[in-house]
Structure 1
Amino acid sequence: MKKYLTFVALSLCFIGSAQNINDVLRYSNENLQGTARFQAMGGAFGALGGDLSSLNINPAGSAVFNNSLITLSGSYYSRDNDASYFGTLNNTSFNDTDLNQIGGAFVFKTLDDDADWKKFTLAFNYDVTQNFENRILASGQSTEGVDNYFLNFAQGIPFNSILLQEGEFIEDAYLDIGANQGFASQQAFLGYYGRLIDPVGDDDSTTDYVSNATYSSVNQQFSRTTAGYNSKFTLNAASQYRDILYIGGSLNFHSIFYDRLDQLRERGYDADSEIQNTTFDNFLRTEGNGFSFSVGAIAKLNDYVRLGGSYQSPIWYRLTDDFSQRISSDLADDDIGFIDFNIINLFDVYRIKTPSKLTGSMAIIFGKNGLLSFDYGYQDFSQAELRPTNDVSFQTVNAQISNELAAVSTFRLGGEYRIKQISLRGGYRFEQSPYANGNTIDDLTGFSAGIGYNFGGSRLDFGINRTEQDINESIFDTGVTTPIMINRILTNATLSYTLNF
């Protein structure tokens, strides 16, 4: 009877197609999340403080609190994607709700009014910095069939090294080849037994392969569905020196859960093609955690002007991936269905170091009437790294990061106008592309607005934040590389409740 594997744990040496520049960028970016007030003002809190999400910008911000408090926030996310692929446009939308922030601060005031250090604050905060829930659809008449993906991996690999051994199950061979020969050989194996490709000639030692599909163009339908989150839990301490200086530091503990399902269907080959239908699906799951720290200060120059500065360390992530595939075609081996999402390849543990970030801030306070705030952030993405750096494939990716990514400037502007218990807010955000060419990922722009009502002992805030960005995503790193051009709009509507003690 055929053996069926539900789970196989193997350490893979995924040569040439494991972690890449996209993984580094995915976990290096933090989207504007947090409390409703923070989002409504564009996240421009580096010189303001007084909000739990401001700890993400400047850890000195908790020393601005005059009393202890707790804040809870929930968000409604709406994503709208326009994906253009070979001239065909598809629109998808995705909605989600989440409890995205909860935190508290405990303020300890000095009993001696003449003391230089006026108060000491301990704070904690949980923020969802990235919500990965999303889906894109793309379709079009492509000149790059999926056979090219398998051919690019197979060329140069001896045919006899990817053949089933006598009595060997196909799923065992798939995993064994991946573990011992690498990702390229594993994909060549999958392409051959999926019958997308064949060796040239009858010599089992040949290293040349040809496609079984013939076409000038082929109809492709592709979907990418992602799920998960990147969250941060912050432990913070800060203090106020006289009436002129606030200083603080934070320890940040990051958690990642990410799922990605890619599904590709091909139809419309030439009438005489041996292949008429192909499906090829890939599933990736990433889990892990990370650590970072931050320090900062806010200087109160006078009753109207505050200056802020902060340093956010790199985030040191420790991650694991598992990966599974399935393929079918008109000519596929009868047992190909035993290679499915239950047959799981496990990567070795790897690490990502994101770039550090510097932020300079300025705020103008108009007494009790309102305020204006501006933040400038600088982050050099070319300094990001996959580790261990002595890994040959990681060295290739790190060289690509160094050559293709660049320093990013971020501008955030926020304002608040108060009418008795009511606060009206607005904000603007601009973030440069992390790519030196500015094309693979375009600049990000965002606008926000909000309103708050102060009940005295508590406060209710609402904020809405909209960002837009153009992104080019390829289906694969090789073979099918014409990018899908995506216009991505993300809208967050957040409601926060703050209880003062």
Structure 2
Amino acid sequence: MNTKIIYGFVLMAIVQSIGKSQTTDFYPNDISDALNAYGNTFDAVGTARFIGMGGSMGALGGDLSAVEMNPAGLGVYRGSEASISASVLSNKNTASMGSSYSNSDTNFNFPSAGFVLALGGNSEIWKFNVGGSFSYQRLDNSVQFSKNDNINYQYPDVSGVERTYRFESLEQYTNGYRSKANITFASNLQDILYLGIGLDWHYLNMDRETRYSHRNTVDGELMSFNEQLTPYRQENNGVGLRVGILGKITPEIRLAAAYHSPIWWSNMKYDYLSYTLDANNDIVQNYWYYDNYKLNSPGKIVLSGAFASDIINENNSLAVNLDFINYFNKDIYFKSDYDYQLNNNFVNHSIQGSQEYRAGVEYRYKELKLRAGYAYASSPVKNKSVGGYYDNSLTSSIVYPKNYMAGEKNKLSFGAGYDVGPFFIDLAYQYIKSDNYTSFSGEYFNYYDNSRVTVVENDRPILGKVKNVQNNFILTLGMRF
């Protein structure tokens, strides 16, 4: 079957599972991965106390996940501690392009574990602590855009006769995980000034596949295609550095600041499936290609303030923490051949620093602790980066969507904890919502019947919307010693 150019037709792709296909002078897959999978944040990961307070503990410290925000918080510990967390995370995506289709999955994980060793006695002027932790995040994500009667075009059927085909579905699957191991050192000067430094080791393993289908409106024939350069897999290692300072302005008021370097990913292994055409215009499947490139992902700075007071006595207290996080998304940089330099051009013109605001509160009455938190994160992609047409309304005016590729996020959480002697148990619930628009173009191949679809018209992309909702339940068990 000969190649046919489909005019006025551009498919959708979700931001976290876009194949390596070009909508303009950059590869959307690489950019979205740099902002999400390779980014300098772990959503829905941490201890139940940390999650229950909205991830806002930068100036409070004294928590393994808070230490990952500001390593100086490790110095707040007065004793040693070890804990492990388990979570049940549901992930739901609703993709809309004319009609809407929702799908969801649920995973059980152990997102974090770690320990703190408090060194030195209380009488010493300088005290030193050392800690280590491990974080784990699933990257599983699937989205399906359902059929749209507005998207149809002429294409030859199995007999070579031109027929009208209708867009049936676009299915995209991402499977994998990322992890982080770290070691942190902190010092405490008479419970007034705290200094900390931490080193992080990152690992990522991810597979992705995109499938497109269209149906003959005459006889119902269904044709399916794999996107060019998919399926593919990546396996990568990276390293990052954290430094922080925390000080008590008064016994109740604390201020803190921390800097997280970019994550330096090196020797990224990138294997993908590729299709080419031979001299007879037949498809040749070149099975696995290997690519290798380096990436710097965003660094960030964390500014924090907290109020921690004994309302009546040690058994009745209140703590409030506020965090401001600025992500230096301009730090993103691809190191490889010219194709990857196109991504750097897009970063320079369309990526901006994003901000996240977090607030958390903890009320303690004897052994019982109640917590609540909220966080908002802006999009790292500038508005009006890409113009297009929502759904398939090509006769309507062009729109420039907000939240292209990576949407803003809202997070709401609640939690509770209880101490039983040296042991403690914490529970938390977290709700995360984000929306984003996405566009797509590229080539799809069916090796078995020697057919392909070329999706063009990059100056008139159709835009799709993806709504993501996550519900996260976390349990942390720990012991102080």
Normalised-by-shorter TM-score class: 0.7 to 0.9
For residues 30-69 of structure 1, what are the structure 2 equivalents within 5 Å? 30=41, 31-69=43-81
Match of 2:419 in 1: 454
Encode CA deviations 1:6-60: one digit per residue, 9 max, x unaligned.
Answer: xxxxxxxx99759631221121152241111110101101101100011221011
Name which of 409, 418, 421 aligns with 2:367.
Answer: 421
Name which of 416, 421, 435 aligns with 2:381.
Answer: 435
Q: Which has the higher helix share?
A: 1
- Cα deviation for residue 280 of structure 1 reads 2.5
**Aligned AA (1:108):** L
CA distance, structure 1, for counterparts of residue 149 and residue 103 of structure 2: 20
CA distance, structure 2, for counterparts of residue 315 and residue 241 of structure 1: 30
**Aligned AA (1:406):** Q
Worse-matched range after superposition: 316-325 or 299-308: 316-325
Match of 2:302 in 1: 359
Matched, 1:88 2:99: yes
DSSP 3-state at the match of 2:290: strand
DSSP 3-state at the match of 2:58: coil
Name which of 461, 464, 468 aligns with 1:484.
Answer: 464
Over aligned residues, Cα RMSD in angstroms? 3.0
- Cα deviation for residue 235 of structure 1 reads 0.6
Encode CA deviations 1:107-163: one digit per residue, 9 max, x unaligned.
Answer: 11246x2x431x1111000012x4211211111327667999xxxxxxxxxxxxxxx
Match of 2:16 in 1: none
Match of 1:136 in 2: 143
CA distance, structure 1, for counterparts of residue 222 and residue 112 of structure 2: 50
CA distance, structure 1, for counterparts of residue 373 and residue 306 of structure 2: 13
CA distance, structure 2, for counterparts of residue 213 and residue 366 of structure 1: 78
CA contact (8 A) 2:238 2:264 kept: yes
DSSP 3-state at the match of 1:303: coil
Match of 1:225 in 2: 173
Structure 1: runs of 5 or more not aligned: 1-13, 149-194, 197-211
Q: How many residues align?
A: 410
- Cα deviation for residue 97 of structure 1 reads 0.6
- Cα deviation for residue 382 of structure 1 reads 2.7
**Aligned AA (1:116):** I
Q: Which has the higher strand share?
A: 2
CA contact (8 A) 2:94 2:102 kept: yes
Higher Cα radius of gyration: 1
CA distance, structure 1, for counterparts of residue 222 and residue 476 of structure 2: 54
- Cα deviation for residue 475 of structure 1 reads 4.7
**Aligned AA (2:114):** G
Match of 2:269 in 1: 320
- Cα deviation for residue 473 of structure 1 reads 3.3
CA distance, structure 2, for counterparts of residue 19 and residue 243 of structure 1: 47
Name which of 244, 251, 254 aligns with 1:296.
Answer: 244
Match of 1:100 in 2: 111
CA contact (8 A) 1:383 1:402 kept: no
Encode CA deviations 1:380-402: one digit per residue, 9 max, x unaligned.
Answer: 213311113xx211221101011
**Aligned AA (2:125):** D
CA distance, structure 2, for counterparts of residue 313 and residue 17 of structure 1: 25
For residues 101-250 of structure 1, what are the structure 2 equivalents within 5 Å? 101-110=112-121, 113=123, 115-117=124-126, 119-128=127-136, 130-141=137-148, 218-250=166-198
CA contact (8 A) 1:407 1:434 kept: yes
CA contact (8 A) 2:258 2:301 kept: yes
CA distance, structure 2, for counterparts of residue 488 and residue 423 of structure 1: 31
CA contact (8 A) 1:269 1:276 kept: no
Worse-matched range after superposition: 217-226 or 17-26: 17-26
- Cα deviation for residue 494 of structure 1 reads 0.5
Encode CA deviations 1:189-248: one digit per residue, 9 max, x unaligned.
Answer: xxxxxx99xxxxxxxxxxxxxxx7856662221111211112111110001012210110
Distance change >3 Å, CA 39–CA 135, structure 1 → 2: same
- Cα deviation for residue 345 of structure 1 reads 1.8
TM-score normalised by structure 1 residue count:
0.76
CA distance, structure 2, for counterparts of residue 91 and residue 214 of structure 1: 33
Encode CA deviations 1:361-415: one digit per residue, 9 max, x unaligned.
Answer: 0000022412000000111213311113xx2112211010111111111100000
CA contact (8 A) 2:432 2:471 kept: yes
Distance change >3 Å, CA 32–CA 213, structure 1 → 2: farther
Encode CA deviations 1:408-463: one digit per residue, 9 max, x unaligned.
Answer: 11100000011211100000000001111133133110100011001120110011
Matched, 1:468 2:477: no
CA distance, structure 2, for counterparts of residue 482 and residue 261 of structure 1: 21
DSSP 3-state at the match of 2:339: helix
CA distance, structure 1, for counterparts of residue 273 and residue 57 of structure 2: 43
**Aligned AA (1:34):** G
Structure 2: runs of 5 or more not aligned: 1-21, 384-401, 444-454
CA contact (8 A) 1:214 1:269 kept: no
Matched, 1:23 2:33: yes
DSSP 3-state at the match of 1:96: strand
DSSP 3-state at the match of 2:343: helix
CA contact (8 A) 1:413 1:429 kept: yes
CA contact (8 A) 2:367 2:419 kept: yes
CA distance, structure 2, for counterparts of residue 490 and residue 125 of structure 1: 24
Encode CA deviations 1:307-352: one digit per residue, 9 max, x unaligned.
Answer: 010000000012111112689xxxx96xx6x949xx22221x2111
CA contact (8 A) 1:238 1:249 kept: yes
CA contact (8 A) 2:153 2:166 kept: no
- Cα deviation for residue 278 of structure 1 reads 3.8
TM-score normalised by structure 2 residue count:
0.79
CA contact (8 A) 1:461 1:495 kept: yes
DSSP 3-state at the match of 1:344: strand
DSSP 3-state at the match of 1:28: coil
Percent identity, please. 27
Distance change >3 Å, CA 145–CA 92, structure 1 → 2: same
CA contact (8 A) 1:260 1:284 kept: yes
Distance change >3 Å, CA 145–CA 235, structure 1 → 2: farther
